[in-house]
Amino acid sequence: MRSICVMNQKGGVGKTTSSVNLAAGLAKQGRSVCLIDLDPQGHASLHLGVEAFGQTPTVYDVFSGKKTLSDVKQLAVDNLWVIPSDLDLAATEIELVDAPGRELILRGAIDRLNQTQPFDYVIMDCPPSLGVLTINALTAAKEVFIPLQPHFLALQGLSKLFETTALVKRRLNRELKVSGIVLCLYETATRLAADITDDLMRFLEQSDPQAPWYKARIFDSRIRRNIKLAEAPSFGQSIFDYAAKSSGAIDYAALVTEVIAAEASAAQPAAA
């Protein structure tokens, strides 16, 4: 199983869009995927037409100890299950403030889920913050994908993300690594996007071998600005179901191909 945390503390960079469409694209390629919505806004759930209302169990019930992930998961489309979220999840930050082992709750829940229904991929869509929910995702994941808009200020914020992954790797999860950066809202006609990409490549090439982002790749697939990506959530569909021939679908399909191509190398540590 590949467990991937999709994170960026900056909003509006394509994090949820990337989480949903990566999960949906992998499912269309025959992989069994579980998408865990860790954002109290519940946008990843809504994007796939899964709405938590009334007595619908959510990931909040998992953090509060009332349910397991198996109890909460819902089948969204073939091969793709969603662990929905709602605004109740926002209370988790306060409710778990003094809880022992609070950073390990999600890891334990995923381990139990994997015993009952093994998945090829578990993808966690994190909130745009670096609180207890994101720390839980980093502690449970083996890999981190960072969606990044190629703008100067977005690049500046990347250092804080890297610091957080280094802290979690040192204290909670020795297996954690930043394995990929997804360039979103990419504008091919601008010089700025190319310059920022070059700066990022140079930084990664010069990274400390002990850093979790050492040898992180910038995915070749660039997610271009595309209005269809913005429209798809209102129809409760991934880009592949909403507009299969759009540039958004083409770009995410290419990203999925790259992620699948890395399956062999991702499996090597487990086989060693």
Per-residue model confidence as pLDDT tens digits over 3-15? 999 999 887 889 9
* Greater pLDDT, 147 or 266: 147
Q: What is the pLDDT of residue 272?
A: 37
Beta-ladder partners of 83: 36
Lowest-pLDDT range, 39-48, 58-67, 149-158?
Answer: 149-158
Whether residue 154 has pLDDT greater than 80: no
Give residue 43's domain range.
2-271
Q: How many domains in the chain?
A: 1
Work out the angle at residue 168's Cα, subtended by the Cα atoms of residues 162 and 172, and round it to the nearest 5 degrees: 165
Q: What is the CATH number of the domain that holds 53?
A: 3.40.50.300
The model's pTM is 0.93
Whether residue 264 has pLDDT greater than 70: no
* Greater pLDDT, 103 or 272: 103
Q: What does the alpha-carbon distance between residue 163 and residue 209 come to, in Å, rounded to a whole number?
A: 15
Q: What does the alpha-carbon distance between residue 134 and residue 42 come to, in Å, rounded to a whole number?
A: 15
Mean pLDDT of 45-61: 90
What confidence tier does 156 reach under pLDDT thresholds 50, 70, 90? confident
Element (H, E) at 36: strand 33-37
Task: Tell me the three state secondary structure of residue 10.
Answer: coil
Q: What does the alpha-carbon distance between residue 60 and residue 6 come to, in Å, rounded to a whole number?
A: 19
Q: To the nearest whole number, what is the mean pLDDT of the chain?
A: 91
What is the dihedral sign for C-alpha 164, 170, 174, 177? Answer: positive
Q: Among the ranges 82-86, 114-118, 196-200, which has the highest mean pLDDT value?
A: 82-86
The residue length of the chain stands at 272
Q: What percent of the chain has pLDDT over 70?
A: 97
* Greater pLDDT, 267 or 207: 207
* Greater pLDDT, 220 or 51: 220
Q: What is the pLDDT of residue 271?
A: 41
pLDDT in tens, 139-150: 999 999 999 988
